[in-house]
Structure 1
Amino acid sequence: MGTPDLTKPLAGIGGFFMMAAHTLRAIAGRPFAWDEFVRQAWFVARVSIMPTLLLSIPFTVMTVFILNILLMEVGAADLSGTGAALGAVTQIGPVVTVLVVAGAGATAMCADLGARTIRDELDAMRVMGIDPVAALVVPRVLAATLVAVLLSPLVTCVGLIGGFAFSVYFQNVTPGAFVYGLTLLVGLPEVLIALIKAALFGLAAGLIACYQGISVGGGPAGVGNAVNETVVFSFVALFFINVVATAVGVKATA
């Protein structure tokens, strides 16, 4: 059995980090493509906001339901709000947001850039002296990051409202106790960490989508493969970043 050829995967990883470094440098460059940034931010928000809000309710309700069963067994059902707030703020809000942003917005970015790539539009831009990363990648990456940060608190609020309604009306938790418990373990540091996590998730999803789009090959079939790979790689990056960010956040707020 021969040794596996790792040239292509390693080349892809190297190319991704080179593009990421180029993107971070180009963010501070001038001129900034404000029109493209606004269009992309509106597009990502438009395709993501409703699925994100609808997905946040079952995620939070299921978490609260399981937690309440445990709390009722030990006679601590009044702490239901504490668990709901901790789960919604630190995990459900950022994670659900980027799942939809990566699944809807990032794939559309990848398909758009992939179509431009196979039509040689990016090469034409380079010939004209226009940097495709500054003109196309930077606005899309920042748009995905901004939308993820803005959607995360909205998802958290909707999830907490859904968790409150389910706990009070279906599991007979006292409304006052639920509301009082919201701030027992969750404060400003946890909210800030959740926003940082959402920003990192959106940044990673945007970078992966753009790299897959500008490095696509093989014609239209290659674009389809790149879109599928964008979803898979974004979800893998999401869970890796979540583990690291959560561990760092717990140590920072301990």
Structure 2
Amino acid sequence: MSSPTPSFPGAAALRETGRLFALGIDVGRATFKRPFQVREFIQQCWFIASVTILPTALVSIPFGAVIALQLGSLTKQIGAQSFTGAASVLAIIQQASPIVTALLIAGAGGSAICADLGSRTIREEIDAMRVLGVSPVQRLVVPRVLAAMLVGLLLNGMVSVVGVLGGYFFNVVMQGGTPGAYLASFSALAQLPDLWISEIKALLFGFIAGIVAAYRGLNPAPGPKGVGDAVNQSVVITFLLLFLVNFVLTAIYLQVVPPKVS
């Protein structure tokens, strides 16, 4: 009789993490294989954009307003009101915009991706595709992951614009700020790499949301309850990974790109 395989605390989580990374590598390889599922990619882009664009726009307004009000109050206390616009833009573009975009993509688009793939899995459609020699990763996962990345990239720009406009409105109207000083301070501290890191974050966050949703959708527990649990797990795991990756990217960016001195 063979002895049971030894295990240690966290072994299951470590195996799941390895499989998640393996799926990410498989998606990267399958992206460059032909034929590329153009129609599926366009449909997924339209679906993710349709379910996230309105909530993203609505959420970005209070985000920009809260940041502008908080920074406006702080700069007023220390006598640096002329830098309110620059500080608000940096906070919105670098941090709030990609995070808001990724959270809504994970919550709306990622949960739908996970539910779709999970239902296909429990109906044994995924196994049938493998039997027929069709790669589920190339046929189903790659278009969804790339769609999440593209929509995240585009929505991030929209959130940045709406957030900055919302911050401008609330700072000028509610706190009595000067419109010219708010706009003129944009160039005081903000620089072009700030926009680049924001777009890179949005792209990477979309990739993470798509990969996690696809992985949980391809590996649910049996039955409809398993699919529901997989959807919840995918959203929670994505949120945790997003905040962790955001911290790492921000720390690297602040070390590599020197701050602009006014």
What TM-score do the two structures reach when normalised by structure 2? Answer: 0.94
Amino acid at match of 1:176: G
Query: Which amino acid letter does the alignment assign opposite residue 218 of structure 1?
Result: P
One-letter code aligned to 1:245: L
Q: Find the counterpart in structure 1 of residue 209 from structure 2.
A: 205
What value does the CA root-mean-square deviation take over the aligned residues?
A: 1.1
**C-alpha distance in 2 between matches for 1:224 and 1:103:** 13
Deviation at 1:230, TM superposition (A): 0.8
Shift of 1:128: 1.0
2:114 alignment partner, one of 92, 95, 110 = 110
Letter in 1 for 2:148: A
Q: Structure 2: how far apart are the matches of 1:214 and 1:6?
A: 22
Structure 2 unmatched runs, 5+: 1-6
For residue 186 of structure 1, the aligned residue among 184, 190, 193 is 190
Per-residue deviation at 1:4? 6.4
CA contact (8 A) 1:85 1:183 kept: no
Partner of 1:246: 250
C-alpha distance in 2, partners of 1:145/1:14?
A: 22
Q: Who is 2:59 aligned against?
A: 55
Q: Distance in 2 between matches of 1:229 and 1:252?
A: 34
Q: Partners of 1:113 and 1:182 in 2: how far apart?
A: 44
Deviations 1:124-180 (A, max 9, x none): 111111000000000000000110010001101001111111011110110000001
Partner of 2:24: 20
In structure 2, what is the equivalent of residue 80 of structure 1? 84
Give the Cα separation in 1 of the matches to 2:240 and 2:88.
25
Tell me how far apart the structure 2 counterparts of residues 183 and 102 of structure 1 sit (CA, whole Å).
33
Q: Deviations over 1:6-54 (max 9, x none)?
A: 3322221121111111111101111101111000011000000111111
Q: Letter of the aligned partner of 1:199 in structure 2?
A: L
Q: Distance in 2 between matches of 1:148 and 1:242?
A: 15
Amino acid at match of 2:21: F
| Worse-superposed segment, 179-188 or 48-57 | 179-188
Which residue number corresponds to residue 120 of structure 1? Answer: 124
Match for 2:122: what amino acid?
Answer: I
Match of 1:46 in 2: 50
The corresponding residue for 1:133 is: 137
> Which residue does 1:100 correspond to in 2?
104
> Deviation per CA, 1:172-222, whole angstroms, max 9, x where unpaired?
110000001112221211101110011010000100000000011221100
Structure 1 unaligned regions, length at least 5: none
1:223 and 2:223 aligned: no
TM-score where L is the length of structure 1: 0.97
Question: Counterpart of 2:131 in structure 1: which amino acid?
Answer: V
Matched positions, count = 252
Q: Percent identity?
A: 45
What's the counterpart of residue 148 of structure 1? Answer: 152
Partner in structure 2 of residue 237 of structure 1: 241
Which position in structure 2 is the counterpart of 1:163? Answer: 167
| Aligned position for 2:75 | 71
Of 128-137 and 67-76, the range deviating more from structure 2: 67-76
Question: Take 1:221 and 1:45, find their aligned partners in 2: how far apart are those partners?
Answer: 27
SS at match of 2:188: coil
Distance 1:188 1:102 in 2: 27
Is contact 1:38-1:143 (8 Å) kept? yes
